[in-house]
Structure 1
Amino acid sequence: MRIEILTIEGCPNGPAAEREVRGALAALDLDIAPTFRVIASSDEAADVPFAGSPTVLVDGADAVPGSEPIQDLACRMYLTPSGPAGHPTAEMLIPALRAALAR
């Protein structure tokens, strides 16, 4: 399983997204290290399913579907159980991780 966190330069939510990814992995007892990719141009954003920074990909697919891919170097908002946030929660990521394990 490959987990990648797509961010833009200076994204303040990248570290929080990484913390939540690691929490989701720990909850499923998975020893996988996520990688980071900084999206630096609209062309790079167009080459991946980038829906704003940060976007978490599990095996190349958005772990939190529902947002359209964009080419803008922009922030992403997530609708979490606690309200809008700049990163997904671990609980939001777990279904994508479970689905990847089942494949």
Structure 2
Amino acid sequence: MRIQLLYFDGCPSWQVADARLREALTALGRSTPVKRVLVTTADEAESWRFHGSPSILVDGVDPFAEPDAPVGLSCRLYRSPAGVDGSPTVEQLIEVLARD
């Protein structure tokens, strides 16, 4: 499994996503490395199909992307059972990571 955390410096939520991702991996007993990818330009955002910061790719796929989600340098919001958040919850991440 290959995991990438895409972000840009102007977004404060990527650090929360990073911590939650590591917590989810620990809960699953996995030591999979997470590669952080800093996205700095609109061209890079387009190349990565970057739907905002933070974005998590699992084997090159964004499991949280909506089909019509815009691509670009923006902060991203996620739907969670508690409402809208700047990062997927640990439980949502566990669900996605356990599929593989």
Fold similarity call, TM over 0.5 = yes
Please, which moves more after superposition, 62-71 or 9-18?
A: 62-71
Summarize the Cα distance change of 1:68–1:8 in structure 2 as closer, same or farther, 3 Å threshold.
farther
Identity among equivalent pairs (%): 38
Is 1:64 matched up with 2:64? yes
Asked if structure 2 preserves the Cα contact closer than 8 Å seen for 1:56 and 1:62, the reply is yes
Distance 1:59 1:24 in 2: 16
- The runs of at least 4 aligned residues of structure 1 exceeding 3 Å deviation read 67-71
User: 1:98: Cα distance to partner?
Assistant: 1.9
Asked if structure 2 preserves the Cα contact closer than 8 Å seen for 1:5 and 1:18, the reply is yes
Asked if structure 2 preserves the Cα contact closer than 8 Å seen for 1:24 and 1:90, the reply is yes
TM-score norm. by structure 1 comes to 0.87
Summarize the Cα distance change of 1:39–1:67 in structure 2 as closer, same or farther, 3 Å threshold.
farther
Gaps of 5+ in 2: none
Q: CA RMSD in A?
A: 1.5
Distance 2:2 2:70 in 1: 22
- Alignment size in residue pairs: 100
TM-score norm. by structure 2 comes to 0.89
Distance 1:5 1:34 in 2: 7
Gaps of 5+ in 1: none
Summarize the Cα distance change of 1:17–1:36 in structure 2 as closer, same or farther, 3 Å threshold.
same
